[in-house]
Amino acid sequence: MVKVIMGLKGHGKTKKLIELVRKAAEEEQGNVVCIEKDEALRYDIPMSVRLIKLSDYKLIGYPHLKGVICGLCAGNYDITHIFLDGLFKLAGTESLNEAEEFLAWCDGFSAREGVNFTMTISADADSATDGIKKFF
């Protein structure tokens, strides 16, 4: 399953993501991971959630982000949910077409590996492509 929370800056996307992270940490039987660019969520999510500050690794682009996700899952088969806060910041691009391709990849990965994805995208939801909208 892939879920996208999309909206302009200040519309409560991260707040909603934090609520979903907390719920997943309480209810899911596996490990929960949250990937963000910096350390904004450090005090907002439970300590049981693996928080990854992507800026520590100097990685940019969707290929690197896919590599991080594959590496996480290869090293820990118990991951049930991966949350990504600020997809455009993580990827270093605001291309909707590239985001759509990444979401399709996540959807296939989710089906194969049984890992759910929830992510935020800071952009007007009306500008989303059909390939992005199907994950709302």
Read off the CATH number of the domain in which 38 is found. 3.40.50.300
Whether 87 is covered by a domain: the verdict is yes
φ, ψ (nearest 5 deg) of residue 40:
-65, -30
Whether 135 is covered by a domain: the verdict is no
CA dihedral 103, 108, 109, 114 (to 10 degrees): 120
pLDDT digits (tens, 9 = 90+) for 64-118: 999 999 999 999 999 999 999 999 999 999 999 999 999 999 999 999 999 999 9
Whether 76 is covered by a domain: the verdict is yes
Whether 90 is covered by a domain: the verdict is yes
Predicted local confidence at residue 113, as pLDDT: 97
Residue 3 binned pLDDT confidence (cut-offs 50, 70, 90): very high
**Structure tokens belonging to residue 109:** 């990965």
Residue 124 binned pLDDT confidence (cut-offs 50, 70, 90): very high
Task: Residue 62: give the domain boundaries.
Answer: 2-123
Residue 6 binned pLDDT confidence (cut-offs 50, 70, 90): very high
Whether 128 is covered by a domain: the verdict is no
Whether 17 is covered by a domain: the verdict is yes
Whether 134 is covered by a domain: the verdict is no
Whether 129 is covered by a domain: the verdict is no
pLDDT digits (tens, 9 = 90+) for 9-52: 999 999 999 999 999 999 999 999 999 999 899 999 999 999 99
Query: 36 pairs with which residues across the strands?
Result: 53
Predicted local confidence at residue 57, as pLDDT: 92
Q: How many domains does the chain have?
A: 1
